[in-house]
């Protein structure tokens, strides 16, 4: 017979941490510190993110057997600190093969281990390359509470993981996660989790990783849902946080009696819950309600970009960044993001005027630097470019000036930026946006130079949108209005404008989005109303630019499908 209101609520802590891939010792310290906080708050169960000990995604580090052994040693070190309550710790387990695992730790030891059953192998994920999938559910009994364990992808599908846990009559589903962010994903993920809790008539606690890892950003937004799918607690986005919440298991029991969905499920032969030996945490004051409101779309994209820059620079040990400031909108937005992410003292702008650089561009770069409080260095390039052209004159004799001379200017700037980087250790931030990178409107070893490209997955339309939002939200003109309002130009020849080489961005960006992010073919986009000649031209430019993208710096994934791991196309191809 099921249980109804015969035990007290259980207190759960969600430890939303920002880990570093491969820093097992440092990640272990974060876990131990979080356990101390959770114990002080009276937590009976503390849930950590997926692979919290190794960081996510560890990629080919998992091919080294010693890596799994080091993770196991760290897990046993952590276990010694779990003297009250229990913890669910994401780790790697080697058991004849490599598993993405969640360890149930209590009473100073590892008592059970669950193996992730759904291994994502699409988009940015390659888990089937590294792990063997688990084949059985895990339900544990802790202080009278039936807790079902899931890891990230497991919970995205109603069957078999969630349905197995529902059939087992769990009171709580505890999901460890490292769910990468893109714009709008947090809302969609929360809707899915609410549905899963409601369908299973079980509370659901979801603990997600936070922070940047190479091109990925994790938004956190860990949450607690009741058995009806209502959000009862929510952690901050893009920040470390800890959520403490009390769960009344009687709610799920009563809901199963009123809405007996479980009776419609096929009967499954399953073993009973595994009892966990644990000491109840000392009583502590009520945690109150921790429910952080989600942020709006522009603020979310801004915060995701700031997080990605901050963590890429910090986790890789760069003392700061250097950015070529042209006076245009892309470099202005990149500088503003970097100043917010790192502090203005860590950002250096470099103004590199050529004979084609307008006075307005130079003034806008200076105004931007002053408004952000960043350093500004002037390195005129006219004499350097002239010397390059003089050296090449015998080779170019009899040939008209063309894009070659334009690219010499961009490559001169790239060389100077990299020289500053070599001398100071600062990271060069490339300023190209997704619209330009898509169609190859960029110069290899020129404006593509850099170690990180924050705007790589941001369309030109969104560049303008974010610039306007940044000025509005700050209540002042951080980014000069003329950088936003004047027609975009590379200023590599007299009176040059982007529209000389590209369709207008309000026409270009929807075609890029349809082709790159939604895999629409040319006929579908033409049927949707786009000009046939423009569609064919843009698609050809996208495919011919793949060789450039392969050589460019990585950047922050912001859309559901970014260039790189998300979209893996052959460089040599005739299908488009």
Q: Say if residues 333 and 362 touch (Cβ distance below 8 Å).
A: no
Q: How many CB atoms lie within 10 A of CB 30?
A: 19
Q: How many CB atoms lie within 10 A of CB 339?
A: 25
Tokens at 96, concatenated: 């004849």
If you compute the radius of gyration of the chain from its CA atoms, what whole number of angstroms results? Answer: 27
Can you state the angle between helices 382-396 and 403-424, rounded to 10 degrees? 130
User: Comparing C-alpha atoms, which of 452, 566, 556, 479 is closest to residue 238?
Assistant: 556
Q: How many CB atoms lie within 10 A of CB 550?
A: 11
SS3 348: strand
Catalytic residue numbers, as ranges: 50, 116, 152
Query: What DSSP element (H or E) covers 115?
Result: strand 109-115
Edge-first strand listing for the sheet containing 347-351: 375-378, 347-351, 321-324, 427-428
User: Comparing C-alpha atoms, which of 205, 96, 219 is closest to residue 150?
Assistant: 205
DSSP-H helix ranges across 201-320 = 249-258, 297-315
Q: Say if residues 49 and 17 touch (Cβ distance below 8 Å).
A: yes
User: Comparing C-alpha atoms, which of 111, 133, 87, 148 is closest to residue 272?
Assistant: 148
SS3 96: coil
- Using omega within 30 degrees of 0 as the cis cutoff, is the peptide bond preceding 324 cis? no
Report DSSP letters for 385-397, one per residue.
HHHHHHHHHHHHT
């Amino acid at each position: 017979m099921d249980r109804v209101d015969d035990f007290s609520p259980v207190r759960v802590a969600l430890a939303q941490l920002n880990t570093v891939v491969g820093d097992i010792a440092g990640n272990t310290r974060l876990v131990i510190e979080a356990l101390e906080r959770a114990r002080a708050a009276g937590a009976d169960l503390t849930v950590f993110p997926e692979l919290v000990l190794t960081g996510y995604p560890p990629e080919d580090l998992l091919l080294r057997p010693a890596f799994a052994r080091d993770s196991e040693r760290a897990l046993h070190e952590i276990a010694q600190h779990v003297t009250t309550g229990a913890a669910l710790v994401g780790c790697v387990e080697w058991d004849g093969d490599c598993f993405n695992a969640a360890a149930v730790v209590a009473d100073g030891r590892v008592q059970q281990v669950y193996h992730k059953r759904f291994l994502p192998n699409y988009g940015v994920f390659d888990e089937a390359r590294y792990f063997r999938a688990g084949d059985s559910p895990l339900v544990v009994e802790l202080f009278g509470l039936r807790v079902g364990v899931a890891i990230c992808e497991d919970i995205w599908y109603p069957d078999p993981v969630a349905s197995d846990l529902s059939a087992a009559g769990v009171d709580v589903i505890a999901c460890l996660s490292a769910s990468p962010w893109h714009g709008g994903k947090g809302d969609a993920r929360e809707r899915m989790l609410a549905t899963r809790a409601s369908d299973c008539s079980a509370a659901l606690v979801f603990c997600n990783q936070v922070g940047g890892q190479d091109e990925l950003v994790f938004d956190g937004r860990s949450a607690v849902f009741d058995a009806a799918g209502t959000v009862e607690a929510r952690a901050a986005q893009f920040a470390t946080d800890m959520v403490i919440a009390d769960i009344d298991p009687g709610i799920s029991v009563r809901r199963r009696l009123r809405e007996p969905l479980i009776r419609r499920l096929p009967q499954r032969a399953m073993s009973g819950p595994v009892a966990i030996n644990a000491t109840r945490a000392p009583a502590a004051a009520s945690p109150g309600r921790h429910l952080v409101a989600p942020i709006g779309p522009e603020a979310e994209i801004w915060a995701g970009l700031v997080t990605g820059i901050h963590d890429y620079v910090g986790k890789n040990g760069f003392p700061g960044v250097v950015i070529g400031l042209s006076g245009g909108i892309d470099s202005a937005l990149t500088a503003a993001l970097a100043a917010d992410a790192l502090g203005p003292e860590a950002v250096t702008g470099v103004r590199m005027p050529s004979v084609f650089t307008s006075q307005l561009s130079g003034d806008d770069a200076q105004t931007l630097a002053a408004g952000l409080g960043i350093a500004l260095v002037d390195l005129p390039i006219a004499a350097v470019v002239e010397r390059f052209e003089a050296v090449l004159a015998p080779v170019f004799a009899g040939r008209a000036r063309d894009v070659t001379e334009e690219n010499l200017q961009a490559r001169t700037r790239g060389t100077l930026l990299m020289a500053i980087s070599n001398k100071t250790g600062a990271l060069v931030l490339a300023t190209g946006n997704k619209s330009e990178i898509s169609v190859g409107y960029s110069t290899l070893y020129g404006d593509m130079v850099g170690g990180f490209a924050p705007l790589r997955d941001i369309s030109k339309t969104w560049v303008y949108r974010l610039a306007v939002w940044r000025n509005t939200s700050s209540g002042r003109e951080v980014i000069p209005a003329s950088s936003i309002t004047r027609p975009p130009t590379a200023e590599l020849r007299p009176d040059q404008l982007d529209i000389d080489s590209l369709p207008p961005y309000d026409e270009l960006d929807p075609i890029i989005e349809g082709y790159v992010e939604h895999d629409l073919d040319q006929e579908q986009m033409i049927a949707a109303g786009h000009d046939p000649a423009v569609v064919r031209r843009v698609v050809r430019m996208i495919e011919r630019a793949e060789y450039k993208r392969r050589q460019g710096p990585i950047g922050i994934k912001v859309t559901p499908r970014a260039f790189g791991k998300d979209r893996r196309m052959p460089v040599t191809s005739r299908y488009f």
